[in-house]
Chains A and B, each alone.
Chain A
């Protein structure tokens, strides 16, 4: 913990931290319990100086509130909706995009495949309407990656998706998501290369 960060925490407590530094500091403090404790102790110093005779919160009070909030099933109503819907819409856009891409590929394959060029099948190609595939919540319609190495864009999008969904997770859950992303990605690539080699 550097003095520079602690000076920022001191300025944050006073409402004097520039807005462009606030976001990074808040995220840092979310990850670092030591920084949160520092913020709490600076607040205690101020409170003691301002009102020396009043009762003070016990040392574990804030931790109890934060733990209670962690275990609280009720989330802030609009916040939950906002995050949920944006994450949901991101997921939906991703599915729609994937559905469109899949149906375009399917149509292209059918047009270019000389074996299955019977009029009935060619005519049925447009029936693979992307919106039908995209909006269906059935898990078996999720895109599969077996044997296909994800592009950097796909990996980034998947990581963003996982992070968006881990916003409300407990710290342990968040760690699991991140460790999952970090641990899984090389395996995914390895599996893909292996399958390519096998081919």
Chain B
């Protein structure tokens, strides 16, 4: 069995992705969404799924070293997290907690994969073949890879073409992980302006992505 990073390693990697104050803001916002979900507001948990879907899939795909199963395992992890939400007390960041659930789910999948005899598609029932086909359709097709590549191209090209104040704001936020306050200090402008610039940058990228994503949706 592969060695997994310790469960608290996620905090480090999470904080590498985001600056300190920005991470604190996200943790606070996550906690608020968790509290709402715990009170029965399902929509709040849906937002957590939307926020962390790519991170969890990346993590699971890395652990499994097999992208065909990554979405199924990630889905299972989200369902487990939802069911266990009542036990989340907010002692750690929500993502750290979710990360731990995803790691354990991936670990269980790998253990059951080792127990299960290797099966070939020829030996699968029609239903099983359909399931495999659906999985492959979602991740492994050349079309899906091409789409992912196109998404990256569009995002990169749009950011390069943005006015400097917008591209700086979005890069400082998304790549450097600075909070709005830190960006405001760096760009010498009010926090409200930072918020507006980041939104306008996202909107510009989104407008260019829309035709691509509407084909896929």
Q: Mark A17-42, 1 if CB is under 8 A from B, else 0.
A: 10100110011011100001111111
Q: Which of B67-85 contact A (CB under 8 A)?
A: 67, 70-71, 74-75, 78-79, 82-85
Is A13 on the interface with B (CB-CB < 8 A)? yes
| A12 contacts across to B, CB distance below 8 A | 29, 47
On chain A, which size bracket covers the interface?
Answer: 35 or more
- Nearest-CB distance from A133 to chain B (Å)? 29
CB < 8 Å: which of A6, A70, A83 contacts B39? A83
Is B187 on the interface with A (CB-CB < 8 A)? no
- Nearest residue, chain B, Cβ from A39: B50
| A43 contacts across to B, CB distance below 8 A | 50-51, 53-54
Is B38 on the interface with A (CB-CB < 8 A)? yes
Q: Mark B37-72, 1 if CB is under 8 A from A, else 0.
A: 111111111110111011101100110000100110
- Report the 7 A-B pairs with minimum CB-CB distance, sorted nearest first: A30-B43, A78-B86, A15-B25, A15-B26, A76-B85, A15-B29, A83-B40
Please list the residues of chain B having a beta carbon within 8 angstroms of any beta carbon in chain A.
17, 22, 24-30, 32-33, 36-47, 49-51, 53-55, 57-58, 61-62, 67, 70-71, 74-75, 78-79, 82-87, 138-139, 144, 148, 151-152, 155-156, 159, 170-171, 173-175, 179-180, 195-196, 198-199, 202-203, 205-206, 209-210, 213, 216-217
Q: Please, could you name 20 A-B residue pairs with CB atoms under 8 Å apart, sorted by A?
A: A7-B199, A15-B24, A15-B26, A15-B27, A26-B41, A26-B47, A27-B43, A45-B202, A49-B155, A49-B171, A49-B174, A55-B67, A55-B148, A56-B54, A75-B83, A76-B37, A76-B84, A79-B37, A79-B40, A82-B40
